[in-house]
Chain A
Amino acid sequence: MRWAVPEAEFMDPGTLGCQGCGGTLSMRLVLKELGDDAIAVLPACCWSIIDGPWPVHALNIPVFHTAFETAAVVATGIKAAKQIKGKDTTVVAWAGDGGTFDIGLQALSGAAERNEDIVFICYDNEAYMNTGIQRSSATPLGTWTTTTPDERPEPRPKKDIMGIMAAHRIPYAATATVAYPDDLSRKVRTALAAKGGMRFLHLLSACPPGWKMAADDAIEAMRRAVQTNVFPLYEVRDGREYKITHWPEAEVDVADYFSLQGRFAPLLADDALLNLVRNNVRERWWFLVERHQQSLRKASSPDGAHLH
């Protein structure tokens, strides 16, 4: 096999994810690195359904279904109980963008601020897909959802969740996507190695029905999100040290990403809006490049070791 992805599976088939579900694949690939000494906490999200209805479930690790706003705090509690029992089990809060950017944000911020020893993973499909594609604060500017129809598409840019997490100065935060499996695997391993504090992974996860595209375009869509710098792959240590982990070979226009998906029809129909988005993407990318270079300079300076 050409890939460094482990062969062991910790997710049974028979999940209820839609055809081509990026969230399901995200879970499958992350679990390969987590192994079976782990517990997942699921707030309300697609995965509440995907894991299967009672009395069956798909994951080969214990799963706690919990209320929408509580993923981070329930994970914190479970981790505390495990620690009291002397167990080293990895506790993962696995939430969608709703349970992370919107409804779960308070508990997430609290856990991050206390630097709880948990891994919080957001699989971000950029709207409330499970309930019928309503916009969330992760929905990008100019996007169609059922609550932001073509005539009045999403008016605000996507919330900068990585910036928020970095501002909490947690030991490790990273973006990743299943379209780059080796990068994703490495980041999960890095997160596991950084145990003792809060770790955050932001996974862009395609949703073929919500993104209005063919199921077999799911990987290509996520790949283009990276190639066009709409979703750069990077990691942030201690909220300060930025490192871009994948450098696109050539500048690919954002329209290459948008044109694959029906949800971006309003954006493609409005040149001014498209240009605004294009500039936002560029600005954000150059911000990251600057942070990356700044981090390199600090690391090579004599007092670079004393970041804190």
Chain B
Amino acid sequence: MSTLNHVDDYPEIPVSLASTRTILKTGAWRSVRPVLAERSAPCSAACPAGVGIPAYLQDIKEGRPKEAFAALTSRNPFPRITGRVCPHFCEQACNLEEKTGRDSVSIRSIERWLGDETAHLPHPVPSRETGKQVAVVGSGPAGLAAAFYLRRSGHEVTVFDRRDLPGGMLRYGIPDYRLPTVIVDEELARLEAMGIEFRNGVALGSDLTLDDLEATYAAVFVATGAGRERTVGIEGESLLEPGLAFLEATGRGEVALPGDRCAVIGGGNTAMDVARVLRRLGAEVTVLYRRTVTEMPAIREEYEHAVADGVTFKWLTLPRAVKKQDGKLIVTVEDMWLGEPDESGRRRPMPTGVSRELRFHGVFSATGETADLTPFPDRLMSSDGWLSLAENGATTDPLVYAGGDLATGPATVIEAIVAGRRAARAIDHQLGLDRLWPEDNPIEVVGSAEVNPTYVPRHDRTADHVAEWAGPFAEESVTMTDAEVLYEIERCLSCGHCNACGTCFVFCPDGVITWEDGPVIDYEFCKGCGICVAECPGHAMILVNEREVSHV
């Protein structure tokens, strides 16, 4: 038997010294390859402005509010405003809610926080002036958005408004407890700092005509809104106070409560605002609506706020006549029932023949608004008596564009902003400056079946807080804190957008993903198991068949 005292006494054994990297190119096993694919999140797709939400949430999370603000304002210049008043179509489309039943990410509250956080940042001043002058008529959200983008493109922009102060519906339509005037003023100051000129107290039609404008300006965008109150069409109409005019008066600080008991006729957003203002001023308020809560056109959240304020609703109640008696208004109402759906898809109110009398100190009408089209010459009108408009706001006159509530009837602030932006783009196109605008490529939306909610934390949704009562017009809610915003963003799946969460890196069995602030896949070794794609919370990666990948 040999003795093993020295290393030379041991038998030779084979030793592997080289790395598998040198010869085992396991990428050859693959039939599908994972690739990062930026796709649209459902929230972004549902946003009329198409704001890239997961991307700006990531900017916030990683401490880049300026970049988040720049990304957001490329689609919507006023996050401070929409962060307060938008009906958040985005949140209704959230995959987290769809997939897990948990509450959606409170995107609007995050947007509001970002708006406040970046309120001090100036808007970009154009790097080059085009030397062209563009007029915007109307300074509501559509006009202001158009002015912002036209100025950003380098035009000299003048905004005309018939009232003594700009802001339109933002100032005079939306009550201060929802959108404080000071915020509108600060946003207007930022626009002025960009070089936008505001000319107030100039009404289109009476003080100047479209022809006057066309003589001076390279293009005109008209967004004068839908400010003409629709009549209720009942006996004693003149005894009704128009809701919009009331909101404007309270916006000017001219508060006049007709008495303790008030009624509001209508079920739209104006009706909700009027009812809430009256209620917050101390009146007992009853909303009279001819259908039920299900058919009511008001945004659900506005209705809930009205209920929370203590507004009473009388459903299936149609006012037939108003008369004055002993200083009070007597409203004769008829009870209704719901019949077959009408052309709007909502069930039609049908008379029952049963009438009652209700007594109030003041009755307000809010049954809808239409646009005042008198400033438009006949040549711009279509045969049905309406303004002839293309989707981008172009009229039949190549110098004149229109949009906002003027074109759509009463709609949301974000839809007006989109109309303004779209018109600005169309005007730039007309002026040969379309190179300033990136192409909007329609991209596929990430469906709820694709996402993997395992790794987002399960804590409850955090949103704006209810403010302590500080008067009828003090802002009713409080912006989230920095910590709350970061906590809330953690809940976002980041659909279709890699937010560098690292899940693919952690779960790659073969270690073929290296981390350079984000995943980098080594296709020489990736076996195509698909785990990175399956585990990616927002499905920001997809599997592509190797046959479809071009081999150069």
Known contacts A14-B19, A56-B19, A57-B20; is-contact A218 B509 (Cβ 8 Å):
yes
Residue numbers in A under 8 Å from B22 (CB-CB): 14, 56
Cβ-closest chain B residue relative to A17: B509
| Chain B, 1-47, CB within 8 A of any chain A CB | 14-26, 29
Known contacts A19-B29, A215-B531; is-contact A52 B509 (Cβ 8 Å):
no
Q: B505 contacts the other chain (Cβ, under 8 Å)?
A: yes
Residue numbers in B under 8 Å from A52 (CB-CB): 16, 20, 24
Q: B522 contacts the other chain (Cβ, under 8 Å)?
A: yes
Contact A19–B16 (Cβ < 8 Å):
no
**Could you give, for residues 42-70 of chain A, a 1 whenever the CB lies within 8 Å of some chain B CB and a 0 otherwise?**
00000000011111111000010000000
| Cα distance, A53 to B22, chains bound together (Å) | 12
| Cα distance, A20 to B505, chains bound together (Å) | 14
Residue numbers in B under 8 Å from A54 (CB-CB): 14, 16
Known contacts A13-B26, A217-B534; is-contact A55 B18 (Cβ 8 Å):
yes
**Could you give, for residues 251-279 of chain B, a 1 whenever the CB lies within 8 Å of some chain A CB and a 0 otherwise?**
00000000000000000000000000000
| Cα distance, A15 to B500, chains bound together (Å) | 26
Q: B535 contacts the other chain (Cβ, under 8 Å)?
A: yes
Q: A21 contacts the other chain (Cβ, under 8 Å)?
A: yes
Contact A12–B531 (Cβ < 8 Å):
no
Contact B533–A216 (Cβ < 8 Å):
yes
Residue numbers in B under 8 Å from A7 (CB-CB): 505, 515
Instruction: For chain B, give the interface size range.
Output: 35 or more
Cβ-closest chain B residue relative to A21: B509
| Chain A, 235-254, CB within 8 A of any chain B CB | 249
Instruction: Give residues in A with beta carbon < 8 Å to B.
Output: 1-3, 5, 7, 9, 11-17, 19-22, 24-25, 28-29, 51-58, 63, 178, 181, 208, 214-220, 223, 249
Instruction: Give residues in B with beta carbon < 8 Å to A.
Output: 14-26, 29, 454-455, 458, 500-503, 505-512, 515, 522, 524-525, 527-531, 533-535
| Cα distance, A218 to B509, chains bound together (Å) | 10
Residue numbers in A under 8 Å from B23 (CB-CB): 14, 56
Residue numbers in A under 8 Å from B507 (CB-CB): 25, 178, 181, 219
Known contacts A15-B510, A25-B507, A57-B16; is-contact A218 B24 (Cβ 8 Å):
no
Residue numbers in A under 8 Å from B14 (CB-CB): 54-55
Residue numbers in A under 8 Å from B510 (CB-CB): 13, 15, 17, 24, 28
4 A-B pairs besides A12-B19, A15-B26, A25-B509 with CB distance below 8 A are: A7-B505, A13-B20, A20-B531, A28-B509
Query: Which of the listed residues B18, B19, B510 has the most CB atoms from chain A within 10 Å of its own CB?
Result: B510
Minimum CB–CB distance from B44 to chain A (whole Å) comes to 22
Residue numbers in B under 8 Å from A11 (CB-CB): 511
Minimum CB–CB distance from A208 to chain B (whole Å) comes to 8
Residue numbers in B under 8 Å from A220 (CB-CB): 534
Known contacts A54-B14, A57-B19, A216-B530; is-contact A24 B509 (Cβ 8 Å):
yes
| Cα distance, A260 to B328, chains bound together (Å) | 72
Contact B527–A181 (Cβ < 8 Å):
no
Contact A56–B511 (Cβ < 8 Å):
no
Contact of A28 among B17, B511, B515, B525 (CB under 8 A): B511
29 A-B residue pairings within 8 Å (CB atoms)? A1-B502, A1-B515, A2-B502, A13-B20, A13-B21, A13-B510, A13-B512, A14-B22, A14-B25, A14-B525, A15-B26, A15-B510, A16-B26, A20-B509, A20-B530, A21-B509, A24-B510, A28-B508, A28-B510, A28-B511, A56-B16, A56-B22, A57-B18, A57-B20, A58-B20, A181-B507, A216-B530, A216-B533, A217-B534
Contact B17–A215 (Cβ < 8 Å):
no
Contact A12–B20 (Cβ < 8 Å):
yes
